[in-house]
Structure 1
């Protein structure tokens, strides 16, 4: 078995509904570890793994609010009990937001345990903190393409990525994720393109913006007035 990749995330996008994303922030930090267990004839159970950090042991956790997507590590969730599953996938742990030393992945098995020190420098750094805003036009012309702009600032003491999603309800239900990597004190923007294609004049187009620290609804109105019939004479 090998450890393929490891990463710290302070939040992750997840499938909330089939066509929408939610954002799950960590109480501390999430540590994702992708392992490749295709070599043994019998892959180890999830319960055989622990994350060692600062004298504590952390068991793998199951994502609580939907399946994570667009992670910083490759693969799907590690599910060795699924006979049809690939034996390569990620384990998810949650630890305090700043560790004193790099974490270690431990596998308990015969004839003796194995350990891998993980190269995740953010694990020992202070966490980020976020301020953010969103901007979009109040009105657009019929069939116009326009942008929804998200601005984020890292007001914390450590680097991190501001992860969010814009959930569309027109012309189709779909999510558009965005990531804004920021060092402490930095700010930057992400843009998501939207369109009023085939929208009737006067229609209000709503977009749900999800972030690690809150959510808001953006409403854009299609210009023009809906014609009404009048009786003659």
Structure 2
């Protein structure tokens, strides 16, 4: 969890509302949020575009492999747009305030998070040629006592935006899962890798994972299974064994927030190769 410091100050001037759009994620852990400036703030020309809560995210581990990064508690992602500002604030000028604590932006693994529930790339305006619009990530305890706010420390006065992220105050999910594949498949056919998850926690969330292919297509396939507490669901990922030699064993790496496994499928040796399915 990132460093935190006690939040002691209150803000003193009146301000404008921040802007917020809907988040585009396919497996959203939270409803489409809204944001406004908190009472008694001055809003500079920086806008909150989207916010979402996630308990894990996918990231590019290498060119054709996805890793999964779970939170110790939860991640609050916030997309900010500082393009109208005369002076673009540094990443370190932002923090998340909740329950009397102030959280610094988390170091997102390799800056290559993918398929997030907020738009844009990582907010890094100090990089050469970077667009001063992007997301910040904050890691907080799994259940907050009050809705968080985004704070920007900047002259002549700081500003805060209230984030309508109800999931941040909900109990977290917990997961049990399994994966199922056929033991053998015919040459040059497709088949399904089925991932089943059950939410055994007390709150809603999305079970986020990835299947990493190593043959014949070297690429990851992400999956999100949104589940309320007590619900189960299954997501399938299609795989193929094009041009695989009969008798070959092909491995698929399945990664989730609560563990990983490798499944093996054997190409049948007694089938006739009839061409790519």
Alignment TM-score, normalising by the size of structure 1: 0.95
Quote the residue 1:135 is aligned against: 180
Residue 165 in 1 paired to residue 210 in 2? Answer: yes
Note the C-alpha offset of 1:83.
3.2
For the residue of structure 2 that corresponds to 1:83, the secondary structure is coil
Where do 5+ consecutive residues of structure 1 fail to align? Answer: 227-233
Query: Residue 112 of structure 2: which of 67, 84, 100 is its match?
Result: 67
Deviation track 1:132-160 (CA, whole Å, cap 9, x = no partner) reads 00000000000111000000000000000
Which stretch of the first structure deviates more once superposed, 60-69 or 72-81? 60-69
1:98 matched to 2:146: no
In structure 2, distance between residues paired with 1:104 and 1:26: 19
Matched residue SS, 1:77: coil
Q: Distance in 2 between matches of 1:207 and 1:159?
A: 28
What is the count of residue pairs matched by the alignment? 226
Q: How big is the alpha-carbon RMSD for the aligned residues of Structure 1 and Structure 2?
A: 1.2
Asked if 2 retains the 8 angstrom alpha-carbon contact of 1:24 and 1:65, the reply is: no
- SS of alignment partner, residue 200 of structure 1: coil
Question: 1:225 offset after TM fit, Å?
Answer: 6.1
Rounded Cα–Cα distance in structure 2 between residues aligned with 1:47 and 1:148:
42
CA distance in 1, matches of 2:248, 2:87: 58
User: Please, which runs of 5 or more residues in structure 2 have no aligned partner?
Assistant: 1-45, 272-277
Distance 1:18 1:92 in 2: 23
Where does residue 121 of structure 1 map in the other structure? Answer: 166
Q: TM-score, normalised by structure 2?
A: 0.80
Post-superposition Cα deviations, 1:78-124, rounded to whole Å, max 9, x if no partner, equal 01112311111000110000000000000011111110010111100
Equivalent residue for 1:79, pick from 104, 107, 124 = 124
Q: What is the aligned partner in structure 2 of residue 223 from structure 1?
A: 268
Partner of 1:25: 70
Query: Larger % of strand: which?
Result: 1
Task: List structure 1 runs of 4+ shifted beyond 6 angstroms.
Answer: none
Tell me what 1:210 maps to: 255
Any residues of structure 2 matched to 1:147-162 within 5 Å, and which?
147-162=192-207
1:27-46 aligned at under 5 Å gives the runs: 27-46=72-91
**How far apart are residue 61 of structure 1 and its match?**
1.5
